Amino acid sequence: MQKPYLIFLTVITVLFFACNKKSAKSDLLYNIENVNDLHSLAKNTVNDSTLVYIAAARYIIDRDKNLPDTLLIENLFRKGYYYKQIGSVDSAMYYFHKTIDLIKGPNDRKRNLVYFRNTWETDEDNNNLANGISAAQKLIEISNNKDNSRDLVYAYNFLERVYINLKNFEKSLYYNSKTLETAKQSSNVDMYVVTANSKAETLYLRLRKKKEAFELLDSLNTVQCGKDAKRQLYRTYGKLNYYERNYKKTAKYFKDVLKLSKEIPLYQNFNVLESYNNLTDLYLEIEEYEIAEKYLDSTKAIILPNSFPAYVTKYNEYRFILNYRTRDREEELLNEYRSLIEENNREHQKKIDEELFALKSANEKEKLAIVAKNESELKNLKLIVLLGFSGLLMLVGYLFYRQRRYKFQKQEIQMQQRLLRAQMNPHFTFNILSVIQNQIEESQESAVNYLLRFSRLLRLILENSIHNYVQIENELELLRKYMDLQLLRFPNKFDYNIILENFEEEDLLFIPPMLIQPFVENSIEHGFLGIPYRGLINITLRLQNKCIHCTIEDNGVGLKTSNKEYKNSVSMKLISKFTYKATKHKISILDKKDNDASKSGVLVEFLIPYKFSEDD
């Protein structure tokens, strides 16, 4: 994992080189090029720095309102795609849907199809079919048949698949016809063949229109199309002929499918396994066991650890059927049976054993039923007593919980009031006023600016302190104003960086106020005291279950003897007590030198509870 300060330096380097181009370009063109460079870096990396590149691009986008909306759309998509690559599905779906929510009609960008397809395919893979349908329908709404036929083919084809899964065959046929219509219009021959082939299968299997199904397949067989489209066409031919008991034609088509599957690199193992299984099934059906065994051996030779589990299960079933029917290798039959049980049917075997036991003990159960009937009244009485006792316990528990919650809220308010007094301690206030006094003597204009900033900070602290929970956007604004004010006191003393990993600052998240500032103050007042280099504070926030994981890191002097009051300050004790009660996790305050002698500074980690509304 990359270290935070290395990631920070990487972004600074990117922005530095971009700044050299600014003199030759307008601000707008410079910012566009800068954002595009950061997006390219994010596209080519899948590690901790990816989110930093995306956050840096978002920083530029938020501060230049003249930038095109397409940059914000791409930024959200890049974040969703990052989470898709690392397997964080919920976050990926969230940012994909935020991406397409910003896209307005008309559909005039080829890139839009990438956004929508990633959205509905991620929804489909995770069985969120309703969200996927909504995404496809939005693409249809903003598109027109003349200019966007290529995009509409994929949207209609997705809806056809979804409605087949939902067993709504009327709608699946409707979207099938729409796919065919737009495939013709866009000259997408392969998609036309695949879609019409799917329609033939639906006609045969779902609607029992066998003649129409074969007529449609015959018409498709005359069309010049790609190998994969032809493979799917022959597979459907083979399946329908199998159902018609026309086994000679079935064998011909299935062998053609196998040949094409071996010629197509994409999904080769998947398609070849399917072809071998289909041929094995056919020859078992017509009792050509030697040929069936040949295809089973071919299947076994290409099974990989990541092969499609359903096809591996089919292979085991066919092997068992073959050995059972031939009965000439009883030991092999037993081994195949054990393998099948161990790999795929442990739970089934358990149920079989339970059913066998149930059959053996049927007579005993019949006798016990008579006894159970006699005891039923007594059990009912016990049940009533138990329910009454449980209700009483629930009532007592509720009253205890309400009393404890009231006590906790009271302690929380008291803690916040103490924190407010600790934050606006006389030492800090005296320093601020002293600086203002000096500024008045040197420059009244600077003094006014400084006093204005101090008054805004004071107003934010007072506003936040009267609420148990405040929006995270307001709390981060207070934090920035505080650090900016400290930079006026100590020019060039330190830099700071705030990183939000899997949520946006404007999201509706509410946290208790004034939990982060005391740690930042300790870094500035104590950690950077007397250091011969420029300080750096990194603040990272990440959603984690029902809390926000907060990391505060500096490169100061660390927890040496002269700085031992870091852990013993009033603010630290109050915050530690509050967060432990709210999250059941203690605050971690470590000297980085304990883990790596070459590093200096303090690393603070703790959990912050959050809500979705102030009164939640």
Pairing of strands 494-500, 547-554: unpaired
Q: Region 518-535: what's the mean pLDDT?
A: 88
CATH superfamily of this structure's domain 408-609: Histidine kinase-like ATPase, C-terminal domain (3.30.565.10)
Q: Which runs of E-coded beta strand occur in 437-526?
A: 470-471, 494-500, 510-511
Give all strands of the β-sheet with 535-544 in edge-to-edge order. 494-500, 535-544, 547-554, 602-609, 588-591
Cβ burial, residue 397 (10 Å; 0-12/13-18/19+): exposed
Q: Which residues pair with 547 in a beta bridge?
A: 544, 609
DSSP state for residue 611 in the 8-state scheme = B
Any alpha helices (H) in 502-594, and if so which ranges? Answer: 517-522, 565-568, 570-583
Give the C-alpha separation, 343 to 189, whole Å: 42
Across residues 417-431, what is the average pLDDT? 57
Q: Which residues contact 370 (CB under 8 A, 6 or more apart)?
A: none
Integer Cα distance of 604 and 533 in angstroms = 21
* pLDDT band at residue 361 using 50, 70 and 90 as cut-offs: very low
Q: How does residue 225 score in pLDDT terms, banded at 50, 70 and 90?
A: confident
What average pLDDT is seen over the chain?
81
Distances from the Cα of 49 to the Cαs of 4, 5, 38, 44, 288, in angstroms? Answer: 9, 11, 11, 11, 60
Position 243, amino acid = Y
- Determine the residue type at 246: N
Q: Give the separation between CA 184 and CA 188, rounded to whole angstroms.
A: 6
- Tell me the mean pLDDT in the region 59-71: 90
The reported pLDDT for the residue numbered 539 is 96
In this prediction, residue 133 carries a pLDDT of 94
For the chain, how big is the Rg over CA atoms in Å?
Answer: 34
The beta strands (E) that lie in 193-331 are given as none
φ, ψ of residue 67 in degrees (nearest 5)? -70, 145
Contact 83, 502 (CB under 8 A): yes
> Do residues 576 and 586 touch, judged by C-beta distance below 8 A?
yes
What percent of the chain lies above the pLDDT cut of 70?
81
Query: How confident is the model at residue 17, as a pLDDT?
Result: 46
pLDDT greater than 80 at residue 70? yes
Task: Provide the b/e sequence for 412-438 (b: ≥16 CB within 10 Å).
Answer: beebbeebbebbeeeebeeebeebbee
Report DSSP letters for 76-121, one per residue: HHHHHHHHHHTT-HHHHHHHHHHHHHT--SS---THHHHHHHHHHH
Binned at pLDDT 50, 70 and 90, residue 24 comes out as very low
Tokens of 155: 């949207």
3-state secondary structure 414-439: HHHHHHHHHHCCHHHHHHHHHHHHHH
Mean pLDDT (whole number) for 251-280? 91
User: In this predicted model, what pLDDT tens digit does every residue of 536-571 receive, in sequence order?
Assistant: 999 999 998 889 999 999 999 888 754 555 656 667
Q: Is 599 helix (H, G, I), strand (E, B) or coil?
A: coil
**How high is the pLDDT of residue 357?**
42
Task: Read off the tokens for 290.
Answer: 């030697």
Report pLDDT digits (tens) over 374-406. 566 677 777 777 777 777 888 887 787 777 777
Looking at residue 326, its pLDDT comes to: 83
Joined together, the tokens standing for residue 408 give: 């906790």
| Mean pLDDT value of segment 304-313 | 81
Joined together, the tokens standing for residue 383 give: 């049940």
Rounded CA separation 59/206 (Å):
54
Q: Give 201 or 3, the one with higher predicted confidence.
A: 201
Q: Which of 470, 356, 352 is nearest to 420 (CA)?
A: 470
562-598 per-position pLDDT tens digit: 455 565 666 777 788 888 888 889 999 999 888 888 8
CA 414 to chain centre: 38
* pLDDT value, residue 362: 41
Determine the pLDDT at residue 425: 53
Mean pLDDT score, 510-522: 88
At 396, which amino acid appears?
Answer: V
- What residue ranges do the domains of the chain occupy? 408-609
Cβ contact 266:254 at 8 Å? no
How many other CB atoms are there within 10 angstroms of residue 101's CB atom? Answer: 13
pTM recorded for the entire structure: 0.43
Identify the residue with better confidence: 423 or 520.
Answer: 520
CA distance 218 to 111: 37
